[in-house]
Amino acid sequence: MTNNKVETQNKIRTGIVGVSGYGGGELARLLVQHPHIDLKYVTSATYAGKPLGAALPGFVGHSPLVCEVFDLQEAIDRCDLIFLAGEYGLAMKSAGPLIAAGKKVIDISADLRLKDAGAYPIWYKIEHTSPELLQKAVYGLPELHKEELKTADLVANPGCFVTSALLAITPLLSSDLIDPSTLIVDSLSGVSGAGRSKFGLDYHFSEVNESAKAYGVGGKHRHTPEIEQELSLVAGKDIRITFTPHLIPVTRGILTTVYASLKGSPRNLVDLYRERYADDPFVVILDEGSLPATKHVTGTNYCNIGITVDERTNRVIVVSALDNLVKGTAGQAIQNLNLMYGFPETTGLTMTAMWP
């Protein structure tokens, strides 16, 4: 018994603010299996006062935690690390005081992803109330910012579409192998990408089932400036893309297809990608001629990538697949946690895909 108490005391006291929000449930599921985490505090305005199992039925009989109303001082007193999984605006208000109190914060909303505060009224229809946090926050895509994450105390977890696009494009752009003005990104997303709170007509079963639709067409989707921001850093110049997301009738998963015109003749791009991601355990580069599917990564923190060249048009086509709730959200947040605390990057994240 004493050993168990010592082990618990050595674990990181962790809280999830907005456990019933997008990615919050998956975050809780993964954190309770993490060997270095003691999940102490979960909040939900909808389920306040009710057991965690009321918000997340998979926890019935598995957790004594009760959902609470978020209280900043409670989070400070009871946690070392806080995940902010609430709606837009929560991190703007809460991250600063939490950091000032010596806590580490990982925000899985979009509050801290864009470095330009002026972009928020345009893309999110809100004024950014804490612009000083935007420069402090480390953008949490480990494959691009691993060294910065190792010393971070404030992390902005990337968008799910963004992760699939950046991992597919970065090796080509950083090697100057494509004409960036020709970049086109098409992404297909499962319905869980909208989060549990979306009750609009578009998300009714009878509307989604046996149908597929584009949305945010014409450069209107909120992930567009995030993709362009990170690609511009990779390229060292301003990058603009054409990005079109699509809703498809599956629960979880993102399949992204990237098109771009090559500079010069095609080369062995599979080797290029494998070299670029050699130190990134969650990026899997498939053999030449193989392409990924969302089912291959369901429930995992992996992003599978396949590369093909259309020699007739001299265009490269890169297809990436990931689980929007894991590598696209919660798993990536835990990957960031591991880097921040000096744990092996794969800790708590080595699960294989659920199959079939």
Query: What's the CATH superfamily of 2-136?
Result: NAD(P)-binding Rossmann-like Domain (3.40.50.720)
Would the pLDDT of 1 be above 70?
Answer: no
* pLDDT tens digits, 5-40: 335 569 999 999 999 999 999 999 999 999 999 999
Would the pLDDT of 247 be above 60?
Answer: yes
pLDDT-derived band at 3 (thresholds 50, 70, 90) equals: very low
Every domain range in the chain assigned CATH 3.30.360.10: 161-324
More confident residue, 199 or 98: 98
Q: What is the pLDDT of residue 206?
A: 84
Q: Are 287 and 302 in contact (CB under 8 A)?
A: no
Q: Compute the average pLDDT of residues 242-269.
A: 94
pLDDT-derived band at 141 (thresholds 50, 70, 90) equals: very high
Would the pLDDT of 180 be above 60?
Answer: yes
pLDDT-derived band at 221 (thresholds 50, 70, 90) equals: very high
b/e for 148-159, b at 16 or more Cβ within 10 A? ebeebbbbbbbb
Q: Compute the average pLDDT of residues 258-275.
A: 93
Residues serving a catalytic function are 160
Domain 161-324 has CATH 3.30.230.30: no
Q: How far apart are CA 54 and CA 266, in angstroms?
A: 54
Would the pLDDT of 78 be above 80?
Answer: yes
* pLDDT tens digits, 306-333: 999 999 999 999 999 999 999 999 999 9
Q: Compute the average pLDDT of residues 193-215.
A: 78
Closest C-alpha to 281, from 228, 233, 348: 348
Every domain range in the chain assigned CATH 3.40.50.720: 2-136
